[in-house]
Structure 1
Amino acid sequence: MNTEIKNHHHFALYKPYGYLSQFINNGQKQKTKRLLGELFEFPEGSMSIGRLDEKSEGLLLITTDGKVSNHICSSKIEKEYFAQLDGDISADAILELSKGVEIGFDGKKYRTKPCKAYKLTSIPEFQERSKRIRDERHGPTSWVSITLKEGKFRQVRKMTSAVGFPTLRLVRVRIGNLSLQEIKIGEVKQFDTLPV
């Protein structure tokens, strides 16, 4: 009987804009896409816990332990996002977001679960993104915090569009107890256990 216990590895990284949340190319069309393996030499068997789409940035957790991944994905752990929106979002739109809005998911209509949403009173100090975002000369923008316990594909972007304020920039700032804090864009931190 093999009693060897596998040592697993856990990481947190600040995923930059323009990277896919994967380690290998899954198709011919993605040959020019940037992958996580370009940022760090992750061990074999590494997987992202949840994903951020190519245009989204921020906190992404990586593990070699499928049980940890399943636990974090299924335990309804909070995920907080800061989103820069096209337009000055209204109090009514914030209330709509917090109560849940109807979005499209897998070709069907889906109503998002109630969440925490509020307008940020100051602009968060993120490092400059590799691709510039339009500035105030093209109309006002505003920032919101949205905290979810679910994670449908492109959910935050679909939610802000549903209330009339499309997302210009999206940064995941927290998963459970773990936040971006002082992590720089593209930086990877390793943990013995993920403190979420």
Structure 2
Amino acid sequence: MPDKHFIIYKPYGFLSQFLSNDSKQQKKKFLGELHNFPEGIMAIGRLDEKSEGLLLLTTNGKISDYINSQKVDKQYYALVDGAITNEAIAQLKQGVEIGFNGKKYKTKPCDVYVLNEAPNLPTRSKKIRDARHGPTTWISVTLNEGKFRQVRKMTSAVGFPTLRLVRVRVGNIHINNMQVGDVKPVEVFF
């Protein structure tokens, strides 16, 4: 049977996995609720429950391993709390120290810049605080590693916690005009 591949716009509040037998997760939302996926499907990388955006799915473990290896860039748009400073952007670009598996970890250098205007993204299902609570800034972060909650930990490390995180690109695959919950079968990723 040929491998199957999909790109999806993972909604906020969904886990990047399929139904679990774990009784603690019975009230959680899983990717299988979005589409009737084939047997053996797996997410390539993950987005945490509070993150949203582009997620690749495949039945081919070798493709998953390749994309998860540090060879493929992943781009995120992050709405951060506050008017981010040039100094904080410079720190993010150089790499910052975050906690990972109970140890300190310095992130690799990455591409970070301020977006001049808010990106055209679908409205999130859960309201984000508004400007009455102070300024916010949209930034773009492109990295080729993927530690647990890395972008969130990075922005917090420089004093600007992430309020909304959307993955918009993996390699040459862009989210483009996809809407929350969209599922698109594709022939191949790269």
Q: Does TM-score exceed 0.5, indicating one fold?
A: yes
The corresponding residue for 2:68 is: 73
Q: Which position in structure 1 is the counterpart of 2:94? A: 99
1:55 maps to amino acid: K
Q: Does 1:153 align with 2:151?
A: no
How many angstroms does 1:43 deviate by? Answer: 0.3
Cα deviation, 1:150-190, whole Å, max 9, x if unaligned, reads 00000000000000000000000000000000111100011
Is 1:142 paired with 2:137?
yes
Which whole-Å CA distance do the structure 2 matches of 1:74 and 1:123 have between them?
A: 31
| Alignment match, 1:28 | 23
Distance in 1 of aligned mates of 2:117 and 2:184? 28
Are 1:129 and 2:131 counterparts? no
Aligned to 2:57: 62
Percent of pairs with identical residues: 61
Q: Map 1:82-93 onto structure 2 (within 5 A).
A: 82-93=77-88
Larger Rg: 1
Could you tell me which runs of 5 or more consecutive residues in structure 2 were left unpaired when the two chains were aligned: none
The RMSD of aligned alpha carbons is 0.8
What count of residue pairs does the alignment treat as equivalent? 190
Instruction: After TM superposition, give the deviation of residue 26 of structure 1 in Å.
Output: 4.5
Does residue 43 of the first structure (1) align with residue 34 of the second (2)? no
Of stretches 61-70 and 21-30 in structure 1, the one that deviates more from structure 2 is: 21-30
- Structure 1 stretches of 4+ with a deviation exceeding 6 A read none
- Post-superposition Cα deviations, 1:83-124, rounded to whole Å, max 9, x if no partner, equal 000000000000000000000000000000000000111011
TM-score (norm 1): 0.95
1:173 aligns with 2:172: no
- Name the structure 2 match of 1:114: 109
Question: Alpha-carbon deviations, 1:23-72, whole Å to 9, x = none?
Answer: 12141111000000000011000000000000000000000000111111
